[in-house]
A and B are shown apart, each in its own frame.
Chain A
Amino acid sequence: MNVLLFTLLILICSLAAGLLGSLTGLGGGVVIVPLLVLVFKVNIHYAAGASLISVIATSSGAAAAYVKEGYSNVRIGMLLEVATTLGALYGAYLVAKVSPAAIAIIFGIVLIVSAYLSLRKPPNIVDTRPPDRLAAWLRLNGDYPTPDGLVAYTVRRVPLGFLICNCAGILSGLLGIGSGALKVLGMDQAMETPFKVSTATSNFMIGVTAAASAGIYFHRGYVDPSLAMPVMLGVLLGAFIGARIMPGAATHYLRILFSAAIVVLGIEMLLKGLTGKL
């Protein structure tokens, strides 16, 4: 396969990944690495480098829209970014210490778990307890737009959310993904922020988290321009089209289909790591 055909095929696949990721709200970044490794036989370090770049592009593009709509909470984002960037720095250093087979195994597990997380229903919290003191001191409580006007929410269990986001950062740096599913989990399950606020704030954080690993990725030579170019442009274009059609408004059927594809890729990555064919 020559450069032109290779680049075009990767561009088309990345576009599809970005489109599906945007329509289902699962993000396209998570399927890029297994796609490149399993289908295009790309080394896992180059694949992670290209994926990390595409994650910065889509999350910055999406965050630009979300921030304006008033869903994301900049204070929660800034606080948790301390956790995610420190984790991402550590994760990026770990890449050189962990064998490619082990990275593939961890990747497989993360794919399967995030498919499971994405299918769970957003929790509906009715809150009557007194406000959390740490959250109040950090001025994390806020409000967000709903069909019934602005609704206020209070934040809880900040340290637990911080810890979960630290883990999300490590995985992001190690695997070259956004690990949005884990960040959302840390916010809506631990800190009890409304689901829309969690997803928007997670998107806001993903770009900064990925940037914290990106510097190291560049220095270590994980970012190959010829490979990252079609991946970045494809995923970005796909996500843009998806956002134009209807963001996060995919049918239940499409969501299940995409999750199933993620699980299959996860199992393939696990097997690849376990049999040492990397």
Chain B
Amino acid sequence: MNELKGGWNDERMDNTISVLLRTGVILSSIVVLAGGIAYLLQYAGHFPDYRVFQREPAGLMSFRGILAGIFSWHGRNWIQFGLVLLALTPVARVAFCVFVFLKEKDWTYVFLTLIVLSVLIFSFVGR
């Protein structure tokens, strides 16, 4: 077990990562489930067709749209918001690792973790 500076050791880091991941998964599942129930109540009798790919409505593709959508009380918007929360859970984990490696003054890993974080941010923000 590596003892680290700043009061962090590998065990404490592992435990915090564990709590972070579990919270993200549980929280997003609850939002998706609530949205799913609302969606089924609204659309249960409709007939779905997923054979042809035709992108999603703009409000379900951009993050601004998805955020705005949660106030519209539509099931699909809530599900999509929950899915974004889920996808951001690993991003939060990586951001937390940057913080721990900074505390440790482990510059090699600060650098590597920042590369991963940049790739993730680019994927979510960039076009």
Interface residues of A (CB under 8 A from B): 1-4, 6-7, 40-46, 53, 56-57, 60-61, 63-65, 67-68, 70, 74-75, 78-79, 81-82, 85-86, 89, 92, 138-139, 207-208, 210-216, 218-221, 223-230, 232-233, 236
Contacts and interface: CB of A to CB of B under 8 A. Distances in A.
B70 to A, nearest CB: 12
Contacts, number: 190
Q: Which 8 A-B pairs have the closest CB atoms?
A: A215-B123, A221-B55, A215-B124, A225-B79, A221-B56, A4-B44, A207-B90, A214-B87
Contacts of A68: 14-15, 18
Contact of B122 (A89, A214, A221): A89
A20 B123 CA distance: 31
Contact of B76 (A2, A43, A226, A236): A226
B91 A218 contact: no
Contact of B36 (A2, A74, A211, A229): A229
- Tell me what chain B mostly uses at the interface: helix, strand, loop, or mixed: helix
Interface string B23-62: 0110011001101100110011111101111011000111
A74 B50 contact: no
How would you classify the secondary structure of chain A's contact residues: helix, strand, loop or mixed? Answer: helix
Contact of A232 (B32, B89, B125, B127): B32
A211 B123 contact: yes
B120 to A, nearest CB: 6
B58 to A, nearest CB: 9
Given A3-B46, A68-B15, A215-B87, A229 B120 contact: no
B102 interface: no
A59 to B, nearest CB: 8
Contacts of A60: 21, 24-25, 86, 89-90, 93
